[in-house]
Amino acid sequence: MKNMQTQVCETFAARYGEGGQLFASPGRINLIGEHTDYNGGFVFPGAVDKGIVAAIRPNHTNQCRVYAIDMQEEALFGLTEEERPIPSWAFYIFGVSRELQKRGGQVGGFDAVFAGNVPLGAGMSSSAALESVFAFALNELFGCGVDKFELARVGQSTEHNYCGVKCGIMDQFASVFGKEGCLMRLDCRSMEYAYFPFRPAGYRLFLLDSRVKHQLTGSPYNDRRLSCEHVAKVLGQEFLRGATMEQLEAVRGEISEEDYKRARYVIGEESRVLDVCEALEQGDYERVGKRMYETHWGMSHDYEVSCEELDFLVEVAEACGVSGSRIMGGGFGGCTINLVKEELYDAFVAKAKEAFAARYGHEPMVYNVVISDGARRL
């Protein structure tokens, strides 16, 4: 992170002069509770030690100049709807600026340089990190007075209104509210949250990045959300949150088989999140791992957001005696998150690399998880 800070500062000074102020915001992992946030359910994320660093300085105009080090590209844009940027990555920054304005913030023009070390396509939410670092920084630099919960909603609204993804609140919440050494249980209906210390003695938590991302036609993420909303409506509810399997079975004849499977996964996932909270309080990491496997196969068979490569990594984990493994993130590629006893770690990683390379022609990347702080000034 220090090297990235230096690079961002030096690039800012070279392009725009002195005076850039440094901010950072992290990516996230999610132990369990996938695709539950937009269903009003529970999630269990934590911020990580990889994220976005940005140097930002108001420039006293109505124009913005933003340079992305990783893309080696500059975006120039204004602050009205008619002045949207051209590069797609800049939509996130433009959207945050506009959403702060909609909430009464007097956001003016600024110069910025940013870089990131969140692996793209790994399901660690680099987009939320980008939204959150700019939301946090612009809120502070322009004195917008927006509270932290609303900053998370600024990022979510940016996804909805400027990027075409009807996401829930989890990614932005984790990026804003992250706390070193703690996971967070968030109730996405009430927005109540609690920190849970996460220091599993004798276990390692890490990601295996398949380095594949399947591009699917249409909007599979939005389609699944529509399925859930339809079932909730049939049940007479705003969200699937709180629905039971008995209620779902009672309306099975009124919904499609696809909608039934999507809802079955979400209802099961809600109970798994709560069970994991109880297990963590009791220090029962084997129970945590068991629920992780259940989540994976639910996402694979019912929600249908896994892929062959991720299923293969989870099967290898099961065969090696890993305590828990599952797909993490929206799906269709990216990472598995794995909970493994220390004494099994080296053998499992070696086996996973060897077996995956033999099947798919390349090794997965390994990212050890360090639970870290949320958006902040550096």
Range of the domain at 363: 200-368
pLDDT, one tens digit per residue, over 59-96 is 999 999 999 999 999 999 999 999 999 999 999 999 99
Strand partners, 78: 63
CA contacts within 13 A on the Cβ side of 146: 31
Let me know whether 212 and 342 are in one domain. yes
Angle, CA 297 vertex, CA 179 and CA 208 arms, to 5°: 50
- Report the distance separating Cα 135 and Cα 272, nearest Å: 32
- Report the distance separating Cα 46 and Cα 36, nearest Å: 16
* Catalytic site includes residue 171: yes
Let me know whether 211 and 346 are in one domain. yes
Let me know whether 223 and 361 are in one domain. yes
Let me know whether 239 and 183 are in one domain. no
- The CATH number of whichever domain residue 340 belongs to comes to 3.30.70.890
**Of all residues in the chain, what percent carry a pLDDT higher than 70?**
98
- The CATH number of whichever domain residue 187 belongs to comes to 3.30.230.10
Per-residue confidence (pLDDT) for residue 218, from 0 to 100: 56
Let me know whether 169 and 204 are in one domain. no
Let me know whether 278 and 316 are in one domain. yes
Average pLDDT of span 344-365: 98
Per-residue confidence (pLDDT) for residue 215, from 0 to 100: 60
Output the pTM of the full model. 0.87
Let me know whether 184 and 303 are in one domain. no
pLDDT(217) > 80: no
Domains in the chain: how many in total? 2
Let me know whether 213 and 272 are in one domain. yes
pLDDT(345) > 90: yes
Encode burial over 55-94: b for 16+ CB neighbours within 10 A, e otherwise.
Answer: bbbebeeeebbbbbbeeeeebebbbeeeeebebebbbbbb
**Of all residues in the chain, what percent carry a pLDDT higher than 90?**
87
Let me know whether 107 and 175 are in one domain. yes
Let me know whether 217 and 159 are in one domain. no
Distances 340 to 50, 344, 350, 352 between C-alpha atoms, Å: 21, 7, 13, 13
pLDDT, one tens digit per residue, over 114-134 is 999 987 766 788 999 999 999
* Closest-CA residue to 330 (of 128, 123, 27): 123
Torsion region of 84: left, alpha or beta (phi above 0 gives left; psi -120 to 50 gives alpha):
beta
pLDDT, one tens digit per residue, over 170-207 is 999 999 999 999 999 999 999 999 999 888 899 999 99
Let me know whether 131 and 270 are in one domain. no
* DSSP-derived 3-state class of residue 333: strand
Q: Which of 37, 70, 111, 171 is catalytic?
A: 171
pLDDT band at 216 (very low <50, low <70, confident <90, very high): low
Let me know whether 170 and 223 are in one domain. no
- What does 111-133 look like in DSSP terms, one character per residue? EEEEEE-SPTTSSS-HHHHHHHH
